[in-house]
A and B are shown apart, each in its own frame.
Chain A
Amino acid sequence: EAEVAQSPRYKITEKSQAVAFWCDPISGHATLYWYRQILGQGPELLVQFQDESVVDDSQLPKDRFSAERLKGVDSTLKIQPAELGDSAMYLCASSRGWTENTDTQYFGPGTRLTVL
Chain B
Amino acid sequence: AQSVTQLGSHVSVSEGALVLLRCNYSSSVPPYLFWYVQYPNQGLQLLLKYTSAATLVKGINGFEAEFKKSETSFHLTKPSAHMSDAAEYFCAVSSYSSASKIIFGSGTRLSIRP
Contacts and interface: CB of A to CB of B under 8 A. Distances in A.
Interface string B49-84: 101100000000000000000000000000000000
Contact of A42 (B42, B43, B99, B107): B107
Contact of B104 (A9, A43, A48, A56): A43
Given A42-B90, A42-B106, A101-B52, A95 B100 contact: yes
B41 interface: yes
A44 B106 CA distance: 10
Interface residue range, chain A: 20 to 34
Nearest to A102: B51
Chain B at the A interface: mostly helix, strand, loop or mixed? strand
A110 B43 CA distance: 6
Interface of A: 4, 9, 31, 33, 40-45, 48, 55-56, 91, 93, 95, 99-110, 112
